[in-house]
Amino acid sequence: MYQVIRNTKYDYIGQSYASLYPNLHKYPATMLPQIGIDILKEFDATKGSLLDPYCGSGSSFTSGLECGLTKMQGFDINPWATLICKVKFTKIPINELIKEKQTFRNNIFEFLKNENNIFKLPRPQITNIDFWFSQDVINKLIIIKHFIDEIKNINIRNFFLAPFSEVVRECSYTRNNEFKLFRIKSDELLNFNPDVVSVYLKKWNDIFLIYSNFYFPKIKNDGKINVKCAQFQFQNESFDVVLTSPPYGDSRTTVAYGQFSTLSNEWLGISFARKIDRMLMGGTKSKSNITHGVIADSISQISKVDNNRALEVSSFYRDLSVSITNVANSVRKGGKAIYIVGNRTVKNIKLPTDQFVAEKFEACGFKHVVTYERALSNKAMPSKNSPTNKIGKTVNTMLYEHIVVCEKKYNYDIN
Ligand SMILES: C[S@@+](CC[C@H](N)C(=O)[O-])C[C@H]1O[C@@H](n2cnc3c(N)ncnc32)[C@H](O)[C@@H]1O
């Protein structure tokens, strides 16, 4: 058993993400940057290069920047997540953004003067488009996207896509308070007529203010934050520190990152938008259960109640295990791995993910340093998830999170 210490310093009671850095863009289950900042400082991991193999919207990079780290790399399979990261951490001259916004706005209003113009633009490939959007919303989104695509500079174009992807979600018929794709009730549909262009321009301003006040001033000219839309693979990089918050479990029964971003990803032209949840950790069911190590007992108990669930759970931990091996082998000797994890409950059986992470790192040449337990009072909805596909049905699965810190002692050959 790897020792766990209850550490109230990491509870941040009454604080939210925005207490330090407003979130540029909505993303499920974001990590409080405060955790990253304090833990990097406590373990003296404020120099060198940082890796986040599940970077989501990039909170670990926010923490890293605040601690003076400039070389960081992130991976996520969800293109929407990597887009948010790129926007947050790419330095774009503020005056260029303002100039482009003026041109963009003029172009749209000029285009809207002739109502036949819309017929010149192709319709996007969105699954069940008329189920999710009204005709007026579809037309306005097509126009906005068309003028975003006309922007030559890729960084500026990405910046304009960030409010676009939020507007897609907000102006669709999806319930905004659910991670999964559920349509609002039919009586609400009739009264739902958003003014898409105004919503977009307002959203653009909000994002611009947050970017220019909070992120832009922190991004170093000589800094390098590389974000890839991919699964992390072994790299001969010798990272100094890994700071990450992996998913709590498979997307289907925990946080549906893919579904949450499906419509935005489809509007961004991502061909695999509807497959993302199956591509994430635990997305494919295992054929056998895990029978070794600290997780085996919990899985065995689950299998007695529901073997299918046990196979799904086994699949998640197998994927996490492979990933930890790749990560561990990409860290230099003396480097640290900091994983912020949740021990969720399946079929009323607690899954000791913190112990699993410590065990896997120890098997890869690391020594467990400490695990802190923190109360979960403020993370975006991790303690209440819909375990079924029933609208609005949620259960409490987690009240605490664990911050697992390990240090690399030996180098093992990846083979
Ligand atoms: C808890 S979220 C990370 C949130 C992030 N720390 C933030 O503050 O936004 C976990 C992320 O892992 C990603 N993910 C799941 N499986 C993955 C895999 N095999 N490779 C890369 N990313 C994965 C999900 O898309 C999700 O964005």
> Hey, whose CA ends up nearest to atom 26 of ligand 1?
56
| 7 Cβ inside 6 Å of ligand 1 | no
Contacts within 8 Å (CB) and 24+ apart, 315-320: 315/250, 315/282, 315/283, 315/284, 315/285, 315/286, 316/247, 316/249, 316/250, 316/281, 316/282, 317/282, 317/290, 317/356, 318/286, 318/290, 319/281, 319/282, 320/246, 320/281, 320/353, 320/356, 320/357, 320/360
> Hey, whose CA ends up nearest to atom 13 of ligand 1?
54
- Ligand 1 atom closest to the Cα of residue 231 is 20
Contacts within 8 Å (CB) and 24+ apart, 16-22: 16/378, 17/59, 17/378, 17/380, 21/62, 21/214, 21/215, 22/210, 22/214
- Ligand 1 atom closest to the Cα of residue 27 is 9
| 81 Cβ inside 6 Å of ligand 1 | yes
- Ligand 1 atom closest to the Cα of residue 60 is 6
Which domains are seen in the chain, by residue range? Answer: 4-78+226-408 (3.40.50.150), 94-216 (no CATH)
Of 149-158, 222-231, 365-374, least confident by mean pLDDT is 222-231
Task: Write the pLDDT tens digit of every residue in 56-104.
Answer: 999 999 999 999 998 999 999 999 999 999 999 999 999 999 999 999 9
Confidence tier at 380 by pLDDT (50, 70, 90): very low
pLDDT over threshold 70, residue 50? yes
197 C-alpha to ligand 1 centroid (Å) = 31
pLDDT over threshold 60, residue 52? yes
Residue 392, pLDDT score: 40
pLDDT averaged over the chain?
91
Residue 182, pLDDT score: 85
Task: Write the pLDDT tens digit of every residue in 218-268.
Answer: 998 877 899 999 999 998 868 999 999 999 998 888 888 888 899 999 999
Confidence tier at 412 by pLDDT (50, 70, 90): low
Residue 19, pLDDT score: 76
Residue 397, pLDDT score: 52
pLDDT over threshold 50, residue 395? no
Residue 156, pLDDT score: 98
pLDDT over threshold 50, residue 309? yes
Confidence tier at 413 by pLDDT (50, 70, 90): low
Query: Averaged over 107-114, what is the pLDDT?
Result: 96
279 C-alpha to ligand 1 centroid (Å) = 11
Residue 237, pLDDT score: 66
Residue 77, pLDDT score: 96
Query: Averaged over 2-28, what is the pLDDT?
Result: 89
pLDDT over threshold 90, residue 140? yes
Query: Averaged over 153-170, what is the pLDDT?
Result: 96
Query: Averaged over 143-172, what is the pLDDT?
Result: 96
| 62 Cβ inside 6 Å of ligand 1 | no
